[in-house]
Amino acid sequence: MANDHANCSEESNRTHEYELAFVHENDIAGIAAIHAASFDDAWSGAMVRRILSMPGTFGIVARQIRQCSIAGFALGRVAADQCEILSLAVDTQHRGVRVGGLLLDGAIHQAAEGGAETLFLEVAEDNNVARTLYHSRDFAPVGRRPNYYVRKDGTSAAAVTMSREIGVGSVRNSA
């Protein structure tokens, strides 16, 4: 993780009005806020920082062009020839405009750059929007963990483990 300040014009991939950049220290609070708004088991800034300090871990953020605030993030970890997407979320104000697809494509690219051949993630079984996105990028269910996610209201949801191979031309244009 870089310790310098984010350059809002830094870009590695764009879709419509959004661009991707690597996570910088000043993105941590925004990542934690988006995580808290998206998941019942919220990660603090300290937890995000700890995750990003682990070997093989990468973090990317999506920003609206010409704005410094982040619209979403993806965190992943490459180990040997596998990569796990640890978390991916989009701020509620930026959902439905392909930011999730941009982030997922960026994570697939980072996994490939890190030498991964297979990509894994887990998603709540009832998160149909995320599952539709993952299916659109050729992820397929490979396992299920009953009652894995415990919600604040006391209910639970199964986690579906999904996987896909990473190959040449595997990243789609999200535009």
- Return the higher-pLDDT residue of 87 and 15: 87
Contact 137, 165 (CB under 8 A): no
Query: Which domains can be identified in the chain, with CATH numbers?
Result: 14-165 (3.40.630.30)
Considering the entire predicted model, what is its pTM? 0.85
Distances (CA, A) of 123 to 70, 148, 157: 22, 10, 10
pLDDT given at position 175? 37
pLDDT > 90 in the chain, percent? 79
pLDDT given at position 16? 61
Burial class (CB in 10 A: 0-12, 13-18, 19+), 35: buried
Burial class (CB in 10 A: 0-12, 13-18, 19+), 52: buried
Gap between the Cα atoms of 77 and 85, Å rounded: 7
Question: pLDDT digit string (tens) for 114-170?
Answer: 999 999 999 999 999 999 999 999 999 999 999 999 998 999 999 999 999 997 445
Question: pLDDT digit string (tens) for 20-31?
Answer: 999 999 999 999
Burial class (CB in 10 A: 0-12, 13-18, 19+), 162: buried
Gap between the Cα atoms of 24 and 138, Å rounded: 30
Gap between the Cα atoms of 57 and 78, Å rounded: 6
Burial class (CB in 10 A: 0-12, 13-18, 19+), 116: buried
Q: Which two tokens stand for residue 34?
A: 């988006």
pLDDT band, residue 172 (cuts 50/70/90): low
Residue closest to 62 by CA, chosen among 15, 18, 1: 18
pLDDT > 70 in the chain, percent? 86
